[in-house]
């Protein structure tokens, strides 16, 4: 997908559990409270940058507002849903180099708003937005290694530390920054006998062993899982489906897309060719590394699957899950609504579970609203 394509205006602003994330506007530069987050020395104690003076803060905020007009997205002002009070700035903004443009992940809170998980909510929403709506650009951030709170937040929202990075303007007496990136996307089938095939199969077996509900019970034989994987790969080779993986980024994969690191998760996007169904997709076998739970990777994988489905012209995504797993709340949180439930529709050795289906539109509009996509 063209990285310069503007996301729809109705998806560029968002909300989290506690926050409204609205576009930063030029008039925000006139607000002393918001400017103050960028002029107070206390907020820069663990950074390689120095605080702005008042004039500089105004100028940089106007630059950030300009980004919205140029790209259709940028940094948000985060306002508490409870009272509308601004508590921070954050999001992703298109920035140049090195070598190619990227999306800079940023979050800065009012001092009295720290400790409530707001930075994590902003960062999680921003990385998911970027992978779904601006998939042609990698998400990056640079953080001083002394800034443990910011590093913790970045890791929690799905970023991987890929090594040291020094910019020309970094102070000589400060250590090299750590460069972090969101997962790489890898598309296409894997071949039996290859290391990539074994990595996908190994992850599926480990997810089963951890109690994940991806078609099997906990102790399913590896051979049964391999047979299911092979069946999906037949569909991929025929063009009826696509295997989508997310992998740990590396310094090398900045320039070489094939130099990605270990597998973090995967799923399949179905591509039915029946004209009556050609606007739809079903997401299958969606799973992430069980050892990396709590890192926002499930949400990033779903965002990546949505972007791939949209690139194939799909307008509605469907997914099914096993009742009693809590997955319904997760899928509802990324825009899905329940479309069907068969009580006791799934039979296992440990008993029955509901068979639940959910769906959402891929243009970000409510399911059932608007004309049928063409």
pLDDT of residue 98: 67
Share of the chain above pLDDT 70, in %: 97
Cα-based angle 19, 94, 160 (whole degrees, multiple of 5): 75
d(CA 163, CA 165): 7
Strand 280-288 versus strand 316-322 pairing type: parallel
Question: What is the total residue count of the chain?
Answer: 374
In this chain, the answer to whether the domains covering 9-181 and 184-361 adopt an identical fold is yes
Element holding 111 (H helix, E strand): none
Q: What is the mean pLDDT of residues 118-138?
A: 97
What's the whole-model pTM score?
0.94
Q: List 318's β-bridge partners, or say none.
A: 282, 359
pLDDT of residue 167: 79
Q: Which of 38-42, 233-237, 353-357 has the lowest mean pLDDT?
A: 38-42
pLDDT of residue 1: 40
Cα-based angle 368, 330, 248 (whole degrees, multiple of 5): 115
**CATH 3.90.1170.20 given to domain 184-361:** no
**CATH 3.40.30.10 given to domain 9-181:** no
d(CA 113, CA 82): 13
3 state SS of 50: coil
- The DSSP line for 245-275 is EEE---SGGGT-TT---SEEEEEEEE----T
Question: What is the residue extent of each domain of the chain?
Answer: 9-181, 184-361
pLDDT of residue 4: 55
d(CA 191, CA 187): 13
How far is CA 255 from each of CA 43, 98, 188, 259, rounded to the nearest angstrom? Answer: 33, 10, 19, 8
Q: What is the mean pLDDT of residues 228-253?
A: 97
pLDDT band at 48 (very low <50, low <70, confident <90, very high): confident
pLDDT of residue 370: 46
**288-318 pLDDT per residue, tens:** 999 999 999 999 999 999 999 999 999 999 9
Q: Are 276 and 284 in contact (CB under 8 A)?
A: no
């Amino acid at each position: 997908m063209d990285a310069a394509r503007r996301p729809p205006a109705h998806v560029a602003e968002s909300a989290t559990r506690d926050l409204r994330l609205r576009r930063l506007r030029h008039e925000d530069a006139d607000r002393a409270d918001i400017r103050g987050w960028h002029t107070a020395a206390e907020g820069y104690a663990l950074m390689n940058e120095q605080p702005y003076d008042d004039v500089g803060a105004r100028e940089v905020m106007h630059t950030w507002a300009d980004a919205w007009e140029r790209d259709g997205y940028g940094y948000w002002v985060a306002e508490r849903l409870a009272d509308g009070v601004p508590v921070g700035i954050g999001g992703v903004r298109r920035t140049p180099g090195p070598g190619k443009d990227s999306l800079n992940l940023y979050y800065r809170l009012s001092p009295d708003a720290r400790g409530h998980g707001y930075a994590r909510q902003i960062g999680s929403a921003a990385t998911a937005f970027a992978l779904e709506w601006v998939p042609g650009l990698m998400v990056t951030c640079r953080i001083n290694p002394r800034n443990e709170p910011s590093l913790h937040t970045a890791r929690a929202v799905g970023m991987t530390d890929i090594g040291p990075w020094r910019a020309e303007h970094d102070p000589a007496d400060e250590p090299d920054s750590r460069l972090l990136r969101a997962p790489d996307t890898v598309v296409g089938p894997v071949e039996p006998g290859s290391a990539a095939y074994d990595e996908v199969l190994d992850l599926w077996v480990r997810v089963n062993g951890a109690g994940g509900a991806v078609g099997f019970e906990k102790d399913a034989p590896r051979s049964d899982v391999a047979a299911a994987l092979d069946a999906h790969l037949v569909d991929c080779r025929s063009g009826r489906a696509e295997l989508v993986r997310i992998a740990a980024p590396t310094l090398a994969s900045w320039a070489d897309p094939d130099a990605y690191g270990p597998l973090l998760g995967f799923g399949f996007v179905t591509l039915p060719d029946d004209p009556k169904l050609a606007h739809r997709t079903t997401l299958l076998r969606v799973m992430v590394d069980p050892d990396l739970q709590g890192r926002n990777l499930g949400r990033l994988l779903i965002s990546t699957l949505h972007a791939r489905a949209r690139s194939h012209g799909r307008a509605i995504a469907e997914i099914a899950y096993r009742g009693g797993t809590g997955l319904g709340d997760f899928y509802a949180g990324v825009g899905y609504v329940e479309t069907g439930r068969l009580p006791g529709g799934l039979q296992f050795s440990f008993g029955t579970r509901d068979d639940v289906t959910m769906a959402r539109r891929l243009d970000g509009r409510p399911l059932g609203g608007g004309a049928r996509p063409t």
